[in-house]
């Protein structure tokens, strides 16, 4: 049995991520582990993935709380491979309180939507990015606007049964907040989505986009976009995520709160809290290698308490809930909680943070410089001492 599955044996509940790396075409800005769909490669990959999911089902006797099938574009598998994947995931789909699958708009049709609904998916996430042909051309977004509109019509019908998220992109050089506002307006006119993920364009080194668009936008499009979404009734519960009441993404919240999760597939990551920190396992970004070796194609990393604490701060600062001093105390000790309160007070005095009972959270002004604030926490935390006997909570 893979060491990762043995480590998970004593964990009563965890989230599960499954990675499908294939797309019809690769977008110019994409820095994820993805590649153009090749039928023979997909056949072999899907077979290995099914074997790994069966092995996990046999060895892990805890409860799968949330499931997320991501990519790439999972629907690029086609109906037959997708149906077989659902068969291999049936045990997780039955158990999970939330099951998400993400996809590119042009790959969704009525038959596929019916398949996903019948197999138990409760949340659909569609990568719209923009309704502007000019912006889509600028960032190299593949797929047609006709495909976007067609998928939103299908999702409009599905929205009575599942929660629907749409991804939008902002902060594209040469564009303004008003372009983002038009995208939001068009989305809400076309489909009553329950959740919107609004992402800054990140120009990653090595992507096709980085060769022709070397600089990211320095215009603040985030603040007015956040305010506009909130005026439409969407609550910002994380830096890039907005939802109607009752539609926050439970799977992502599990990541942000450092709950245990398993990742199956090429480039997938698993993180399991243990005494004195956490264990992380990352599958290498090699699709053919995964098809041959499965989950054995990976590397372990031991996260000590200091690293785990830094991740706790970084993730909590992204959320509207912020940092709970009581949670810090339970997981990292009294000294860490007192130190955290002091650093938060300094940023509160600068107008970037606020407090609510025992929580400390970023204000919009702080969200805009979150990387600066996180770096400040990281540098100052190097002076802290931790008790390695402390247990990380499941």
15 within 8 A of 63, measured Cβ to Cβ: no
Q: Please check the confidence at residue 388 and state whether its pLDDT lies above 90.
A: no
Query: Could you tell me which residues are beta bridge partners of residue 279?
Result: 272, 302
CATH T-level topology, domain 3-255: TIM Barrel (3.20.20)
Location of each CATH 3.20.20.70 domain in the chain: 3-255
| Percent over 70 (pLDDT), the chain | 98
Q: Please check the confidence at residue 253 and state whether its pLDDT lies above 90.
A: yes
Give the closest residue to 42 by CA, choosing from 17, 25, 22: 22
Query: What is the pTM for the complete model shown?
Result: 0.96
41 within 8 A of 285, measured Cβ to Cβ: no
Count Cβ neighbours within 10 Å for each residue of 109-137 and write b for 16 or more, e otherwise: eeebbebbeebbbbbbbbbbbbbbeebbe
305 within 8 A of 276, measured Cβ to Cβ: yes
Query: Any idea which residue has 């970084």 for tokens?
Result: 314
Q: Please check the confidence at residue 1 and state whether its pLDDT lies above 50.
A: no
Q: Please check the confidence at residue 298 and state whether its pLDDT lies above 70.
A: yes
Q: What are 323-348's pLDDT values in tens digits?
A: 999 999 999 999 999 999 999 999 99
pLDDT recorded at residue 391? 63
When the pLDDT of each residue in the chain is averaged and rounded to a whole number, the result is: 94
Q: What are 128-148's pLDDT values in tens digits?
A: 999 999 999 999 999 999 999
Query: Any idea which residue has 């999702």 for tokens?
Result: 155
Q: What is the SS3 assignment for 361? A: strand
Q: What are 203-244's pLDDT values in tens digits?
A: 888 898 998 887 778 789 999 999 999 999 999 999 999 999
Q: Which long-range contacts (CB under 8 A, 24 or more apart) does 106-110 make?
A: 106/24, 106/143, 106/144, 106/147, 106/148, 106/150, 106/151, 107/24, 107/73, 107/75, 107/76, 108/75, 108/150, 108/151, 108/154, 108/155, 109/154, 110/154
Question: Rounded to the nearest 5 degrees, what angle is found at the Cα of 41, between the Cα atoms of 35 and 47?
Answer: 120
Tokens matching residue 366:
């702080």
- Interatomic CA distance for residues 391 and 394, integer angstroms: 9
How long a stretch of residues is the chain?
A: 394
Q: Where are the beta strands (DSSP E) in 104-172?
A: 123-129, 163-170
């Amino acid at each position: 049995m893979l060491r990762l599955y043995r480590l998970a044996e004593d964990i009563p509940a965890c989230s599960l991520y499954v990675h499908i790396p294939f797309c019809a075409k690769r977008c110019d800005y994409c820095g994820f582990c993805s590649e153009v769909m090749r039928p023979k490669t997909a056949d072999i990959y899907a077979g290995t993935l099914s074997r790994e999911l069966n092995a996990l089902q046999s060895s892990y006797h805890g409860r799968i709380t949330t499931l997320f099938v991501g990519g790439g574009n999972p629907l690029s598998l086609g109906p037959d491979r997708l149906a077989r994947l659902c068969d291999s995931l049936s045990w997780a789909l039955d158990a999970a309180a939330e099951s998400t699958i993400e996809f590119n708009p042009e790959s969704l049709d009525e038959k596929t939507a019916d398949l996903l609904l019948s197999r138990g998916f409760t949340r659909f996430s569609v990568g719209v990015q923009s309704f502007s042909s000019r912006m889509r051309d600028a960032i190299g977004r593949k797929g047609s606007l006709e495909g976007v509109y067609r998928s939103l019509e299908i999702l409009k019908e599905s929205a009575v049964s599942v929660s629907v998220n749409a991804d939008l992109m902002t902060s594209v050089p040469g564009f303004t907040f008003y372009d983002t506002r038009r995208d939001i307006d068009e989305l809400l006119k076309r489909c009553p989505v329950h959740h919107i993920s609004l992402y800054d364009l990140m120009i990653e080194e090595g992507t096709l986009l980085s060769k022709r668009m070397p600089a990211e936008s320095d215009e603040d499009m985030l603040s007015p976009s956040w305010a506009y979404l909130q005026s439409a009734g969407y609550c910002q519960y994380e830096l890039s995520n907005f939802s109607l009441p009752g539609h926050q993404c439970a799977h992502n919240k599990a990541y942000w709160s450092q709950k245990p999760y398993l990742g199956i597939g090429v480039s997938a990551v698993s993180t399991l809290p243990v005494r004195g920190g956490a264990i992380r396992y990352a599958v290498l970004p090699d699709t053919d290698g995964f098809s041959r070796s499965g989950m054995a194609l990976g590397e372990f990393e031991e996260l000590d308490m200091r690293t785990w604490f830094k991740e706790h701060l970084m993730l909590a600062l992204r959320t509207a809930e912020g940092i709970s001093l009581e949670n810090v105390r339970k997981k990292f000790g009294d000294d860490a909680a007192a130190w955290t309160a002091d650093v938060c007070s300094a940023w509160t005095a600068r107008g970037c943070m606020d407090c609510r009972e025992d929580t400390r959270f970023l204000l919009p002004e702080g969200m805009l410089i979150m990387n600066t604030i996180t770096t400040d926490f990281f540098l100052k935390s190097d002076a802290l001492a931790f008790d390695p006997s402390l247990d990380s909570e499941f």
